[in-house]
Amino acid sequence: MNWRELKEKGVKLIGGAVSGGLDSCTVTHWLNEKGFEVHCYTVNLGQPDEKNLDDISDRMESCGALSATIIPGEENLADAGLKVIQSQAKYEGGYWNTTGIARPITVAAVLPELAKQDVEVLFHGCTGRGNDQVRFQLASNIISPSTEVYAPWRDPEFVEAFPGRQEMINYCEANRLPIKSSVDARYSTDANFLGLTHEAGDLEDVSISPEFVDPEMGVWPWDAPDKSEIVKIRWEGGVPVEINGVKFNLLEIFKEANRIAGSHGVGIGTHVIENRYVGVKSRGIYESPGMNLLGSVYEFLLQFILDRRGRMFFEQISSVISQQIYQGYWLDLATTSALAALDPITRLATGTVAVKVYKGGVYFDTVEDTSEELPYSLYTADSSMESTGSYDHTDAEGFVKILGVSAKNIGVKQFPKMRR
């Protein structure tokens, strides 16, 4: 769809999900010049790179927006972030899907605001070669099928006018728009309190070390303190409720985990050459200290409660949910069903786990292994190599002989050259 088609349909009002960055400023002013009444919406996701979200509103109005609204979104993102942790839904290379999960949360927050102002077209600044265009499109189509989605980066006239970042900067400077970006910026960043994504610019050249990236949620591991720190996290029914004996609500848990983990370089600078949904490779440098800390502790807890078949089932569901988030299908039936399938496991995730954080690493330390503190643990005296518990070593004789029946058959039928 191009802007002329919108005009032919009689569209006058258009609303944008904006971050206040270079793309947002460029698109808002450009659409305003085309004669549209532009309304902008920014969802508060605890963006670490924005000290004051009201600055975004001022910026967008200076770019021609008739209104610029800030919408609450932190609590909804915290709920979604917890589901990512509970499903261990990491994409390739250990990426915690922090941007992927934020897109449907953003769209779900923006669409009701559009309806209040009778805006029937949503625009965004996602490029035509990235994943986010898909995430915005699918979330919007699922939540509000009647809302049209306009993507400037798929409009031939916009692409011709702005083939790259430099042209947008030139345009904004020529029109005296209050952009934060400059020609000296070496990469772009997408941010929310779950994590930061750094990409593009000099990061596209893999012959250049990513050390020039300036972390915003912590420090590089090699710059972290030389002394480790013990962090104790209490979980109840799959929900973290305490850190180091202090009770927090879920949003506070994430922020405290970010503070502690980031200071030790945990989850800072995760390097991934990933497969985008559109079929191209991209390089991302990720920051997600709290997700890494909480996710690692939750994995340690799962090790106590999952049996072998439960683990196999969990990993299959985890892979499904990870792909669904990355590809923009967070709201569809498959994701909803997969999350529901994990409920019996999540309810068992109760316990207190202590870990040691040190220079980017999260290491298991101790667990309070009692029936009161870790009620669903399968780690018992039967696991010991000593003569304790109900396990009788001699009972394994028959078990091993049964396993040997198929092994011998394989040896005879399929590997005759290996027989003596």
Does the active-site annotation cover 23?
Answer: yes
| Residues 167 and 234 grouped into a single domain | no
Q: Tokens standing for 250?
A: 């879920």
Are 12 and 48 in contact by the 8 Å Cβ rule? The answer is: no
Distance CA 13, CA 39 (A): 8
Read off the pLDDT band of 318 (50, 70, 90): very high
Convert the pLDDT of each residue in 276-301 to its tens digit: 988 899 999 999 999 999 999 999 99
Convert the pLDDT of each residue in 365-416 to its tens digit: 999 888 899 999 999 876 667 766 677 788 888 889 998 988 888 888 778 7
List 57, 59, 132, 296, catalytic entry:
132
Convert the pLDDT of each residue in 12-46 to its tens digit: 999 999 999 999 999 999 999 999 999 999 999 99
CA dihedral of 310, 315, 316, 322, whole degrees rounded to 10:
140
| Residues 182 and 218 grouped into a single domain | no
Residue 386 belongs to a domain: no
- DSSP code at position 354: E
**Across-strand partners of 414?**
none
Does the active-site annotation cover 307?
Answer: no
Q: How far is CA 6 from the centre of its chain?
A: 33
List 24, 57, 87, 103, catalytic entry:
103
Convert the pLDDT of each residue in 121-179 to its tens digit: 999 999 888 899 999 999 999 999 999 999 999 999 999 999 988 899 999 999 999 98
Residue 380 belongs to a domain: no
Residue 77 belongs to a domain: yes
- DSSP code at position 229: E
| Residues 171 and 289 grouped into a single domain | no
| Residues 353 and 246 grouped into a single domain | yes
| Residues 232 and 124 grouped into a single domain | no
Question: Which CATH number goes with the domain that contains 233?
Answer: 3.90.1260.10
Return the minimum-mean-pLDDT range out of 71-75, 85-89, 376-380. 376-380
| Residues 60 and 201 grouped into a single domain | no
Structural domain boundaries, residue 318: 195-367
Distance CA 92, CA 270 (A): 11
Q: Tokens standing for 247?
A: 């009770």
Q: What local confidence, expressed as pLDDT, does residue 329 receive?
A: 97
Does the active-site annotation cover 186?
Answer: no
Domain boundary at 132, 160, 190, which? 190
Q: What local confidence, expressed as pLDDT, does residue 388 receive?
A: 61
Convert the pLDDT of each residue in 56-71 to its tens digit: 999 999 999 999 999 9
Does the active-site annotation cover 188?
Answer: yes
Are 48 and 216 in contact by the 8 Å Cβ rule? The answer is: yes
Domain count, the chain: 3
List 62, 67, 188, 318, catalytic entry:
188
pTM for this predicted structure? 0.93
Are 261 and 292 in contact by the 8 Å Cβ rule? The answer is: yes
